[in-house]
Amino acid sequence: MSEEEVPAGPPAWPGGTGSSDPWGGTGWTSPPPAPGWWPQQYYFYEPAPPRRRASRLLLLGVAVVIFVFAASAAATAVIATRGLGGSGNTAGVEAAVVDIDTSLGGGAAAAGTGIVLTSSGVVLTNNHVVALGQAISVTLTATGATYSASVINTDASHDVAVLQLQGAAGLSTAPMGDSSSVRVGDSVTALGNAQGRGGAPAVAAGTVTAIGQSITAADESGQHFESLNGMIQTNAPIQPGDSGGPLVNSNGQVVGLDTAASGARRGPESGAVQAFAIPIDTALKYAHQLMAAPHQAPPAGARLGVCVEDSTSPLGALLFTGAAPCTAAVASGSPASKTALAAGDVITSLDGSSVVSKASLVQILQDESPGQSVVVVWFDPSGRQHQATVTLAAATP
C-alpha cells in the first residue's frame, strides 16, 4: 500500500531515561456470532469485518495483520492465566499496574492497561487505549481503588499517552529497566487487563524473539496509518485489553509497553504468533515530552517531501509516483526537490541512520527537527550511489 511519508512526531527527549466468553463483561456490546475463532477475514479483510463498538487499531504486516490490543472486545484463542508467576519476580511491577476502562459513548466501552509512573497518579499507557474515550476510569489492581482520570497529553504517532488520576497520592510506582539491554532469547512477562476482566493482572510469559522491529498501524477503517518502529517482538500471548501494560524482564523491571499482537492462525490454537512492545526507554522519552507540554500537540517533526514504499533490493524506501497524494515522487518546493532524487531511486540512509523500509524513514523524520541539515543517501535504478545534504522542512500536521 502506498502513501506519502507520514507527518512526524516529537524529537528525542534530552532527559534520562472465570468465563471464557470475552463478550461477557459488564459494558461490552456483543456482535453477531462468528463461526469459530478469528475467521480469516479478520486478518485479510476479504470481505471486510463487521464494525465493533470498541476502539481497535490494526497493524498491517507483510504476511499477517497485527492487532493492537487496546479495547477490542472480539474473541481470541489466546488464554492467559492470572496469579501465576512468569519470568522472574513481577510483584514490584504488579503493584503499579492499573486497569483502564473507557466509555466511548452510545453504550460502548473499552478496556486497557496502564503503568503508574509517579506516586501522585501519573499513568503511562498507549494512545489507542484512550484516544476515543469520553470518560476514563482507572483501577489499581493491587488495592481495587478506583479513580477518574484525565488525559495529560497523547502522542498518536508513537502510540503513547499519559493520564492523571484524580485525587491520587502515595501510589506504588513501577521499577523501570533498561530496554537497550534487551536481547533475543531473554525471558519476559506481559501483565495486563486481558479481555477487560479486571482484578489481578493476567500473566503472559514468553521470550524475546526479535528487537528493532517495524510495523505499520491503521485504524479499523484502514484509512489512517501510523508507523511504529524499534519494537520489541516476543511470543508472550497477550490479549485484547493488555495494551498499555508492562513487559517485565527476569529482574522484575519494566522493559516495554505492550502494544500489539498478530494472529495469522485459524482455529482454536493457543498463543499469539507475535507480540510487540514499545521499548520502555522510548515510551518514557515521549511520556516526558507529553508531561512537559500538557494539552499541547506534540511537535510535528520534519519533512523530506517524497512519496515512498518499501524496497527489498536494495533494502530501503523506494520513491514512486502513483495516485493522489503521490502524483509526484518528489513534492515541488520540498527539501528533496533541491536534490537529484527521482522516481525509482531508493533511499538507504538519512542523517547517518539506516533506512530499511518506508516505516524506518518515517521514524527517522519523526525524530528530526525542521531546519536541520542532514545527509540523504540513495541508489538510482542503475545501482549507482548518490548523496546530498538537505535542510528539512516542518512536517504538515
Q: Please say if 120 is a catalytic residue.
A: no
Exposure class string for 309-341: b at 16+ Cβ within 10 A, else e: ebbeeeebbbbbeeeeebebbbbeebbbeebeb
Cα–chain-centroid distance for residue 356?
A: 19
Retrieve residue 357's grid coordinates: 523500509
Task: Name the active-site residue from 72, 101, 128, 367.
Answer: 128
- CA atoms within 13 Å, Cβ hemisphere of 259: 33
- In angstroms, the CA 330 to CA 108 distance is 43
Sign for the pseudo-dihedral over CA of 34, 266, 100, 156: negative
Task: Name the active-site residue from 72, 179, 243, 360.
Answer: 243
Cα–chain-centroid distance for residue 208?
A: 17
**Start-to-end Cα distance in the chain:** 21
Q: Please say if 243 is a catalytic residue.
A: yes
Our separate counts of H helices and E strands in the chain read 5, 24
Q: Please say if 128 is a catalytic residue.
A: yes
Q: Which residue is listed with cell 543517501?
A: 377
Q: Which residue is listed with cell 494472529?
A: 263
- In angstroms, the CA 30 to CA 386 distance is 56
Task: Name the active-site residue from 159, 242, 258, 310.
Answer: 159
Exposure class string for 116-126: b at 16+ Cβ within 10 A, else e: bbeeebbbbbb
- Three-state SS string across 271-294, please? CCCCEEEEEHHHHHHHHHHHHHCC
Q: Which residues are catalytic?
A: 128, 159, 243
